Amino acid sequence: MPPRKIIGVADLNIPGPDTRTLVAQLKAMSDGRRPVKTDELAKVRKCSVGKLEYTLNIASQVGLVKRVKQGWIAT
């Protein structure tokens, strides 16, 4: 039997946007219809694209957002 992978997701103490706040902002910007690009979200949040990518990837693993070709959509 192969070893199991255990994946834990937590909001770390890294300066940047909170996952829940970022998902709420994404929902407000997209209206559930059009994807929002990371750089658009970074301008609104006044944060770097790298920090947003990190937080969005965490939210994606949990299932709060989905990455599509054009950007991000809140699920």
The 10s digit of each residue's pLDDT in 15-34 is: 667 888 888 888 888 876 78
Q: Quick one: which H or E segment has residue 56?
A: helix 49-62
Please provide the average confidence, as pLDDT, over all residues in the chain: 83
If we measure between CA atoms, which residue out of 65, 58, 64, 54 comes closest to residue 9?
58
Q: In whole angstroms, give the CA distance from residue 27 to residue 36.
A: 9
What is the predicted pLDDT for the residue at 72? 92
pLDDT digits (tens, 9 = 90+) for 30-50: 876 789 999 999 898 888 888
* pLDDT above 80 (res 73): yes
